[in-house]
Amino acid sequence: MNLSRRTLLGASAAAAVAGALSACSAKPGGGGGGEAGGDTVKLGINYELSGGVATYGQASVVGIKMALDELNEAGGIDGKKVELKEYDNKSDAAEATTLANKLMAQDGVIACMGPATSGNFKATVPVANKNKIPVVSGSATADDVTVSGDKVEEYAFRICFNDSFQGTIMAKFAAENLSAKTAVIIKDNSNDYSKGLASAFTEEFPGEIVAEEAFVAGDTDFNTILTRIKGETFDVIYLPGYYSEAGLIIKQARDLGITAPVLGGDGFDSPKLLELGGAAALNDVYFTNHYSSIDEDPKVKEFIEAFKKKNNEEPNAFHALGYDLGKFVADAVSRASELTGEAVQKAMAETKGFVGVTGTFDMDENHNPVKSIVVIGLKDGVQDTSEKIG
């Protein structure tokens, strides 16, 4: 296997992973962290399978399981099948912390995947550092997920870009692609994700921010803030939030006659956005994302066909990120000097040239991937345009 170009995207590549560990099982286990034993390699799943952001967690887990099913069907890792220990953190940070402790201290996993959202993921990082077991998210985008102050969180990784990158790219897209000179920001004041994107957009946008409004997660009536901005003159609305509120905001804005383009982040990527907003409202809507289902890249098309065959539905970005996450963790296990949390952490940190559905990346010194971003445009609520940037 050429370690500088790891695809791990099909059964043949998965078989190569099995071969790459031919010497691993003969090596003694190391100190600290979990250690694989017996006939399986234990990996943890700590995701939001119910609660407020369940759609993200559910989709991620479907992708993870597809990736690792392929690996197991090809023989596993050095003849060991991957065994998943799966729990629902109920979209709650305290529950995510409890489950991280259980996975590491009781279940004996050598790596944990999830949670999906930044707040829930950050709650598990101290547990990972204490137990020397890596935790990896496919979608936790807050800037401080892997770095606290000026210190890298040793056992925390992600395979997605961060919030600053999303806000920066969308500010440039607004100015350069939509010729926007004025903007309104509507952000969720109750979560770091929304505030982080809004801050990055404000810093990078070369025009004028004429108004800034706020809401909190769970709100359903946005007519008061929309009526206020209707009196302003602006070219675009930047709405960095989750689908649950964004769909309602966009619908209510269109009902009030606000026709300006609405821009957002990867939190828009859910089938629920269309359900909540309605097709008629979801035009001139653009959002940054990790992947697009209309991408013509052969790797993407191959994944989409395989996913549809297995799951009988079109994959979204969280499916694709989950799939890449499963492959990324398997790749690190395949290169680890021994099957322990510490050895897997080292392999993750040394990743170069990983090729996934959501892009090719190296892992940087802050445990963030260096990769491109996609800006997707909607027409009647369906992906119509896709532009890869970076």
Do 40-161+296-372 and 164-289 have matching folds? yes
pLDDT at position 87, please? 98
Residues of the chain with pLDDT under 70: 1-37
pLDDT at position 204, please? 97
Closest CA to 169 of 270, 287, 250, 291: 287
DSSP-assigned letter for residue 257: T
**pLDDT over 90 for what percent of the chain?**
83
CA atoms within 13 A on the CB side of 248: 14
pLDDT at position 389, please? 87
Q: The tokens of 200 are what?
A: 């990055």
Domain locations in the chain? 40-161+296-372, 164-289
- Would you say domain 40-161+296-372 falls under CATH 3.40.50.2300? yes
pLDDT at position 22, please? 36
Separation CA 160–CA 324 (nearest Å): 10
User: Cα torsion at 199, 203, 208, 210 (round to 10°)?
Assistant: 20
pTM score, whole prediction: 0.79
Closest CA to 41 of 100, 83, 72: 83
Q: Omega into 115 within 30° of 0, i.e. cis?
A: yes
pLDDT at position 192, please? 83
- Would you say domain 164-289 falls under CATH 3.30.420.40? no
The secondary structure of 87-121 as a DSSP string is EE-TT-HHHHHHHHHIIIIIS--S-EE--SSHHHH
pLDDT at position 390, please? 73
